[in-house]
Amino acid sequence: MDIQNLLNPPEEAIQDTSNDLIAHVTKVYSEAPKQGAKDTPEERVVQPISVGAALVAVNQLLQFEEQQEDADVAILNHLQQVRKNVVRQRLREQDSATPRTLDS
């Protein structure tokens, strides 16, 4: 048996022309989306996450990384920085919600 026939058997040869390929690609991308298809990123509605929920999540990630035997110091430092930023945002929200007088 010829090695070329083994690697590329004649019965598996594809005889597509470039016009067939262009027609196929055009058809696939010009069809309307099917019902139940996943939403595109622009159509998704993202539910807002509260600052408190974000802080809980960051603390969980930080705790998870600290528990790893091969904990990455860079990840720990980054998560600590993220936690500080979330805490600052929480304090700003609390500060803006606190009524002020002219004396304060």
Minimum mean pLDDT among 21-25, 67-71, 79-83: which range?
A: 21-25
Place of tokens 């720990």: 76
Output the pLDDT for position 17.
Answer: 67
Percent of the chain having pLDDT more than 90?
A: 39
- Cβ 87 vs Cβ 51: under 8 Å: no
Closest of 91, 88, 92 to residue 80, by C-alpha: 88
Out of 22-26, 32-36, 47-51, the most confident range is 47-51
Tell whether the model's pLDDT for residue 19 goes beyond 80.
no
Output the pLDDT for position 37.
Answer: 58
Tell me the whole-structure pTM to 2 decimals.
0.52
